[in-house]
Structure 1
Amino acid sequence: MVKIILSGCNGKMGKVISGLVSNFPDLSIVAGVDKNTGESTYPVFSNISDCTVDADVILDFSRPDAADSLIKYAKEKGIGVILCTTGYTDEQLLKINEASKEIPMFRSANMSIGVNVINNVLKNISALLYKNFDIEVIEKHHNQKVDSPSGTALLLANTIKNSVPEETIFVHGREGIAKRNHKEIGIHAIRGGSIVGDHEVIFAGQGEVIEISHYAISREVFAMGALKACEFMYGKEKGMYSMDDVVKL
């Protein structure tokens, strides 16, 4: 049985994960961390440093500023951390990478299996299509999402950029006189209503358009991916892991 400490347990994603964990017979949430320590089926602590429950992994769906305390606790206990949050600063990313030299660390911009399959497809086709196609990335999210563009849009855009041998640049939206240059990879963010998360990659050529799309119907898709990541991370050695590793299984 993989014992999980769920950080952000009383947030929207945390509640979805708590509701779905019973679908995984080898997983159990043994404790939670949240500023809101409301009622739960497991003990909830306002700070992970106060947690006295033994666990195998920490699963985080909270805020980027929680990373430092989670990593500190994980190092003390010798357990892995699964970071499902986006919007980290460069300094935080450096600390996360440094921590992977001591403990198993897992970070992905999107926990959906489908998005990560698409990301792997982009690795294989972007260089082939780039010469004859303009490339645009469009992401849509609910009106309360904090970071823009989304971590997933940046994941997809960076995969394309790293797959193309020619120099490319990111252009975030367009305004006024903005004739397109071929070396641009456009990234566009839309915020509205309760959109869970939509991502489209458009390859626009002469006389034809290729569109690769992923639409998250509910938050369950991210929760299922996160719980699969917990299964994957059980007993792992120190190092950096991602959903790419889960998809390969």
Structure 2
Amino acid sequence: MSAPVLSIGIHGATGRMGTRLIQLIQNDPALKLGAAIDRVGHKQIGQDAGVVAGVGELGVPLSTTLDRDVDVIIDFSLPDGTLALLDTCVARKIPLVIGTTGFEPEQKKRIEAVGDKIPVLLSPNLSRAVNLLMKLVGEAARALGDSADIEIVERHHHFKKDAPSGTALRLADIVAKAIESEKLVHGRHGLVGERPRGEIGLHALRTGDNPGEHTVVFGLMGECLELSHRALNRDGFARGALDAAKFLAGKPARVYTMSDLLG
């Protein structure tokens, strides 16, 4: 007997990630688009989400609310939109994959509290390769300690709202824990003096339509180690989100991460 097809709701359905998710769902026989949600006032509300995404009619209208049954929701919207979705997911016991970034600490606490009621997978980056990068960066930071000068450089498209990226902040957090330092510096300007031991530099570039690059530099005397990930398009993030949705379906309530998915 074949496994049941998983019905996926997309929140932020007309965005870059939402559009690509709808396109990729059509190539996966284990998935179907169950709902497509976007903001009030969007000019394409009511239109078929498949037509909007360029894959033909799917019989799923673009809506401002979740008015259809789905097994899992994938959220790529904005922080306020994610928070507005939480109550709906809790009331209907729908697992939620969150790929949105830019949350304030209090907003993250609200999301984590929902993990007592439904399964939630929260990650600043849903790419499998990026999450492997995070693991490797942690290993390198623990091995080299604060003997290395550690700098994190991220580059994204000029439409991105938050800076530094959620992935860069997560990399910084991994490094900070590994070397036991809280000396985080966002860029530098002026006569800042000699670089102090244990400082972690963060630099955000915004250029063109770049889907995302992250490099962590470990500078030592006489040598340098760089660990990098470069997204060539958005498929790595989108496929990771779909893998996360499959993983989350049927799981007990708690907050999950990509580390849980990757084992």
Whether 1:18 aligns to 2:22 is yes
| Distance of 1:126 and 1:68 partners within structure 2 | 34
Aligned to 1:100: 115
Residues 189 and 98 of structure 1: CA distance in aligned 2, closer, same or farther (over 3 Å): same
Question: How is 1:17-36 mapped onto 2 (pairs within 5 angstroms)?
Answer: 17-35=21-39, 36=42
Aligned pair count reads: 245
Cα deviation code 1:124-144 (max 9, x no counterpart): 221211232110000001111
| Distance of 1:197 and 1:22 partners within structure 2 | 25
Answer whether contact 1:102 1:238 (CA < 8 A) is retained. Answer: yes
Whether 1:65 aligns to 2:108 is no
Unaligned runs of 5+ in 2: 50-57
Aligned to 1:77: 92
Aligned to 2:182: 168
Matched position secondary structure for 2:84? helix
Matched position secondary structure for 2:26? helix
Calculate the TM-score normalised by the size of structure 1.
0.94
Matched position secondary structure for 1:23? coil
Unaligned runs of 5+ in 1: none
Aligned to 1:39: 48
The one-letter code of the counterpart of 1:16 is: R
Calculate the TM-score normalised by the size of structure 2.
0.89
Cα deviation code 1:177-236 (max 9, x no counterpart): 122111210000111111110100000001000000000000111111101111111101
Matched position secondary structure for 1:91? helix
Aligned to 1:147: 162
Answer whether contact 2:48 2:62 (CA < 8 A) is retained. Answer: no
Aligned to 2:191: 177
Answer whether contact 1:138 1:189 (CA < 8 A) is retained. Answer: yes
| Distance of 1:114 and 1:57 partners within structure 2 | 23
Cα deviation code 1:123-171 (max 9, x no counterpart): 222121123211000000111111000001001110111122x333110
Question: How is 1:83-162 mapped onto 2 (pairs within 5 angstroms)?
Answer: 83-162=98-177
Answer whether contact 1:31 1:42 (CA < 8 A) is retained. Answer: no
The one-letter code of the counterpart of 1:62 is: S
Residues 42 and 155 of structure 1: CA distance in aligned 2, closer, same or farther (over 3 Å): farther
| Distance of 1:134 and 1:168 partners within structure 2 | 14
Whether 1:244 aligns to 2:256 is no
Matched position secondary structure for 1:24? coil
The one-letter code of the counterpart of 1:175 is: H
Aligned to 2:203: 188
Answer whether contact 2:155 2:205 (CA < 8 A) is retained. Answer: yes
- CA shift for structure 1 position 78: 0.9
| Distance of 1:144 and 1:30 partners within structure 2 | 28
Matched position secondary structure for 1:58? strand
| Distance of 1:52 and 1:195 partners within structure 2 | 34
- CA shift for structure 1 position 68: 2.4
Answer whether contact 2:142 2:178 (CA < 8 A) is retained. Answer: yes
Matched position secondary structure for 1:131? helix
| Distance of 1:131 and 1:194 partners within structure 2 | 35
- CA shift for structure 1 position 67: 1.9
Answer whether contact 1:29 1:42 (CA < 8 A) is retained. Answer: no
Answer whether contact 2:147 2:197 (CA < 8 A) is retained. Answer: no
